[in-house]
């Protein structure tokens, strides 16, 4: 048997290598995806080999991730349960797709991941596999073994004659990519407890942000951000730039209790400085250029889209259809938004677009006004007609 494993280099997935070899009599191919910051490729490769992997893949997926997963979600406006910009949820289908590609290329029979049975990530990996290659087997060792502590895992590796340098359990469980950082566990498990300072990963705590605000102008073309302060930037560079600007000013951190797919509520802290700035800016372009009924439907559908992504249904007809709906009018979403970052907040200070439906001649309260005031009278008569009739029938 041959198995492709999503390998992070951490203790769990390192244990999975000898486990799969032994239990499934398998050859293991370790696959690492670069989606933001990562350990050095050679270090990861060395560790995977030492643990017994017979193949190793390291792919820089940053551009693909931002361009074809994060920006499409941005264009729909998807936010899960009023706060989460879905950084982790967006990465999983891409990792799964690449694993499946490697599995087909190498003739593997199964893929494997290190997710627990309580989380969302197992659902995302496995639903992606169900959509893309239903015949592929998925193995989730953490759901089946009894290595339920770091000590047991370290002992298990020792038994196999492996000593792997252990950086120790972090205080939190952290998943990090270019779109955002998800922080959970440890002291955060008590929702009454204020997140400790050491749970701030890149975003400055409010108390430590600069005294002076900083202005930033984002340019959009067809719904995608293309420039910062007038300089054109590639996707990855642009997000990195906004991540560092936002982090400095304390922008994009959110602390929430959310509903997981498996039914439990969990307390999560997210840092998405760049994505937060981009979401705010694109929403402003939308209000300027989109016709009102369209905008209303778009906002409604964005909630469904967010749920689909969160629930592991990236590769689904629903997610793809809502994407098509949002993208049908994306060519209008071009323009610029100016914002001020200050003290953990983002404030919009200006916007413009060639497609703007805002008309000063119609909106003004000065003599230049061209709005038809006479027409308003008849309009209101008919607009309120059902309400008059309703009132007439009261008490009958
Ligand atoms: N609750 C978030 C989500 O479902 C974050 C999960 C973080 N994953 C992790 N391995 N720490 O997307």
Interval 125-170: pLDDT, tens:
999 999 999 999 999 999 999 998 888 999 999 998 888 776 667 7
Task: Please indicate, yes or no, whether residues 105 and 201 belong to a single structural domain of this protein.
Answer: no
Give the model confidence (pLDDT) of 269-300 as tens digits: 999 999 999 999 999 999 999 999 999 999 99
Q: pLDDT, tens digit, for every residue of 8-66? A: 999 999 999 999 999 999 999 999 999 998 889 999 999 999 999 999 999 999 999 99
Same domain, 163 and 209: no
- Domain boundary, last residue among 169, 195, 228: 169
Q: Residue 80: inside a domain, yes or no?
A: no
Its pTM stands at 0.95
Atom of ligand 1 nearest to the CA of 258: 1
Pair (281, 187) in one structural domain: yes
Nearest CA owner, ligand 1 atom 4: 120
How far apart are the C-alpha atoms of 83 and 270, rounded to whole Å? 9
What residues make up the domain containing 379? 360-389
Q: Is 293 helix (H, G, I), strand (E, B) or coil?
A: helix
Domain boundary among 147, 169, 191: 169
Distance 233 CA to ligand 1 centre (A): 29
Q: What percent of the chain has pLDDT over 90?
A: 94
How far, in Å, CA of 272 to CA of 178, rounded? Answer: 8
184 in ligand 1 pocket by Cβ < 6 Å?
Answer: yes
One domain for residues 331 and 379: no
pLDDT of amino acid 210 = 97
Determine the pLDDT at residue 355.
98
Q: Is 175 in the pocket of ligand 1 (CB under 6 A)?
A: yes
What is the distance between the alpha carbons of residues 195 and 255, in angstroms, rounded to a whole number?
A: 8
182 lines ligand 1 (CB under 6 A): yes
Tell how far the Cα of 86 is from the centroid of ligand 1, in angstroms.
Answer: 9
**Whether 142 and 211 share a structural domain:** no
Residue 113 covered by a domain = yes
Query: Looking at residue 50, what is its pLDDT?
Result: 94
DSSP 152-191: HHHHHHHHTT---------SSEEEEETTEEEEESGGGGST
Do 44 and 182 belong together in one domain? no
| Alpha carbon nearest to ligand 1 atom 1, residue | 268
Give CA–CA dist 31/104, Å, rounded: 14
Instruction: Please count the other Cβ atoms lying within 10 Å of the Cβ belonging to residue 297.
Output: 13
89 pocket-lining for ligand 1 (C-beta < 6 Å): yes
99 and 131 fall within a common domain: yes
Active site residue 255: no
**Ligand 1 neighbour 13 (Cβ under 6 A):** no
User: Of 234, 239, 165, which is closest to residue 202 (Cα–Cα)?
Assistant: 239
Instruction: Tell whether 36 and 158 lie within a shared domain.
Output: yes
Number of H helices and E strands in the chain, helices first, is 15, 14
Give the total number of structural domains in the chain: 3
Residue 310 Cα to ligand 1 middle (Å):
10
Confirm or reject: Cβ of 121 under 6 Å from ligand 1: yes
- Identify whether residues 115 and 235 lie together within a single domain: no
Q: Does residue 331 carry a catalytic annotation?
A: no
Together in a domain, 184 and 323: yes
Q: Is-catalytic flag, 12? A: yes
121 is catalytic: yes
| Radius of gyration of the chain from its Cα atoms, rounded to whole angstroms | 25
Q: Is residue 72 part of a domain?
A: no
Residue 265 in domain: yes
The strand pair at 27-34 and 2-6 is best described as parallel
Confidence of residue 108 (pLDDT cuts 50, 70, 90): very high
Q: Which residues, at least 6 apart from 161, have a Cβ–Cβ distance to it below 8 Å?
A: none
169, 187, 205 - which closes a domain: 169
Is the minimum distance from the CB of 126 to ligand 1 under 6 angstroms? no
Assigned domain for 190 exists:
yes
Q: Which of 8, 47, 121, 316 is catalytic?
A: 121
- Cβ proximity of 32 and 44 under 8 Å: yes
């Amino acid at each position: 048997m041959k198995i492709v494993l999503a390998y992070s280099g951490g203790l769990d997935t390192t244990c999975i290598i000898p486990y799969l070899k032994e239990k499934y009599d398998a050859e293991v191919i370790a696959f690492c995806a670069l989606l933001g910051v990562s350990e050095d490729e050679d270090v990861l490769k060395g560790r995977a080999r030492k643990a017994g992997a017979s193949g190793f893949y390291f792919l820089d997926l940053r551009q693909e991730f931002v361009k074809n997963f994060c920006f499409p979600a941005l264009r729909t406006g998807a936010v899960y349960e009023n706060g989460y910009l879905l950084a982790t949820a967006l990465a999983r289908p891409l990792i799964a797709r690449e694993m499946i590609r490697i599995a087909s290329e190498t003739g593997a029979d199964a893929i494997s991941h290190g997710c627990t049975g309580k989380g969302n990530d197992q659902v995302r990996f496995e639903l992606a596999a169900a959509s893309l290659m239903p015949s592929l087997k998925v193995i989730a060792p953490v759901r089946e073994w009894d290595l339920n502590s770091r000590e047991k895992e370290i002992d298990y590796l020792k038994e196999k004659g492996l000593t792997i340098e252990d950086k120790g359990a972090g205080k939190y469980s952290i998943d990090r990519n270019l779109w955002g950082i998800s922080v959970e566990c440890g002291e955060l498990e008590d929702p009454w407890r204020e997140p400790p300072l050491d749970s701030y990963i890149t975003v400055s705590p409010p108390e430590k942000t600069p005294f002076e605000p900083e202005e930033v102008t984002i340019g959009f073309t067809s719904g995608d951000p293309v420039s910062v302060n007038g300089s054109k930037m590639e996707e990855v560079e642009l997000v990195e730039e906004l991540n560092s600007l936002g982090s400095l000013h304390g922008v994009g951190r959110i602390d929430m209790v959310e509903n997981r797919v498996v039914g439990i509520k969990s307390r999560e802290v997210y840092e998405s400085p760049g994505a937060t700035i981009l979401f705010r800016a694109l929403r402003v372009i939308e209000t300027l250029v989109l016709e009102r009924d369209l905008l209303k439907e778009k906002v409604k559908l964005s909630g469904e889209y967010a749920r689909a992504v969160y629930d592991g249904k990236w590769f689904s007809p629903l997610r793809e259809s809502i994407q098509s709906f949002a993208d049908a009018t994306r060519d209008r979403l071009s323009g610029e938004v100016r914002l001020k970052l200050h003290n953990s907040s983002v404030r919009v200070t200006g916007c413009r677009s060639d497609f703007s439906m805002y008309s000063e001649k119609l909106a003004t309260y000065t003599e230049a006004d061209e709005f038809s005031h006479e027409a308003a009278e008849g309009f209101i008569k008919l607009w309120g007609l059902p309400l008059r009739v309703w009132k007439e029938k009261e008490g009958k």
